[in-house]
Copies of this chain bind each other. A is one copy, B any other.
Amino acid sequence: MIIVMKPNAKQESIDNIIRIIEEKGLTPHLSAGKEVTIIGVVGDKSKLLDQNLEIAEDVDRVVPVTESYKLANKKFHPEPTVVKVGNALIGGDELVIMSGPCAVESREQLFETAFAIKKAGAQILRGGAYKPRTSPYAFQGLEEEGLKFMKEAREETGLAVVCEVTSLAAIETAVKYVDMLQIGARNMQNFYLLKEAGKTGLPVLLKRGLSATIDEWLNAAEYIIAEGNPNVVLCERGIRTFETATRNTLDISAVPVIKAKSHLPIIVDPSHASGVRSYVKPLSKSAIAVGADGLMIETHPNPAIALSDGPQSLTFPQFEELCEELRPLAALMGKKF
């Protein structure tokens, strides 16, 4: 931690900061200049957590030096984490594709989709049973019935299944049916939910919040890992910006940034990021090329009548074509698919 004093700070104010630091058993290092004085503190900064040095007399600002997340931090865990979901290994040398409808609408719709995506090459079936919708009047999901269909689809196809959970009740139900829990963008800082998801021990797919910084995202992952559950997969799904040509702005740089700061696997969801079907293919390719460990792509037997996110869902032939075009690219990036 670095404390930057105001220009011409009184000696008394500087001494006060030094005293507080020393009282906590830490060692201050003073750099006194003509214009400003800075005070470095190296050591266990948690000892200073309950001291709001920002507002002490003559302090200009406090600059943190280390990240607040530890378990998700590559500095302390340099080896990449590989998360096993069903037979798929995310974070290693496989390219893993999760696909399926935004919302589970019926047994038929889900089964048709499951077989189609399996044939095309996907390893994991996604499908929403608890849908967070902007308007209370939009379709809210089939809940447990949807989860049952997911489990049946898993048994029929051998695909692993992932479902979003939005409450403790949903988690308690979902653990009976799915291989992986998804925490959606709107709940990325629902810390209660993160802890509960962590306690299940199931792999967790943690989507980035619409306006979450990468630092906040890794802190959210820290909540899950701190419950003893290291099986976290991050999912970049677009952030909110001023641009309206796409539903959100896919932050493709998040992939190399995460690879530099964390050991956790990261996949990309071009369907939610763009909100436009015709952009899904080029964005999927960019995600593979930038080094993502996988993709999440929405598919539907008939997007024109999908109850949720139809405009961004691929038809089965479109999905099949996409997978075909991804194969040589995955190979070039050293990924099996």
Contacts and interface: CB of A to CB of B under 8 A. Distances in A.
B286 A282 contact: no
A42 B2 CA distance: 13
Q: Which 9 A-B pairs have the closest CB atoms?
A: A33-B42, A52-B310, A211-B211, A31-B40, A29-B31, A289-B289, A286-B290, A186-B189, A286-B286
Nearest to A134: B219
Contacts of A222: 135-136
Nearest to A332: B328
B305 A52 contact: yes
A150 to B, nearest CB: 19
Interface in A247-266: 249-257, 260-261
29 contacts: A29-B30, A34-B42, A35-B43, A36-B65, A36-B66, A40-B40, A52-B305, A55-B304, A55-B310, A136-B191, A136-B223, A166-B191, A167-B168, A168-B168, A170-B192, A186-B189, A186-B190, A213-B244, A213-B245, A215-B245, A241-B241, A243-B254, A245-B254, A249-B249, A282-B289, A282-B291, A286-B287, A289-B289, A332-B332
A190 B226 CA distance: 23
Interface residues of A, number: 107
A175 interface: no
Interface in A159-181: 166-170
Nearest to A255: B282
Contacts of A133: 191
A43 B137 CA distance: 16
A96 interface: no
A116 interface: no
Given A137-B46, A191-B132, A306 B65 contact: no
A289 B278 contact: no
Given A55-B311, A243-B254, A246-B253, 6 more contacts: A134-B189, A166-B191, A241-B249, A241-B251, A253-B283, A260-B278
B214 A211 contact: no
Interface string A42-54: 1100100111101
A50 B260 contact: no
Contacts of A310: 52, 54-55
Most buried by B among A43, A75, A192: A192
A84 interface: no
Nearest to A169: B168
Nearest to A257: B245
Most buried by B among A69, A135, A211, A246: A135
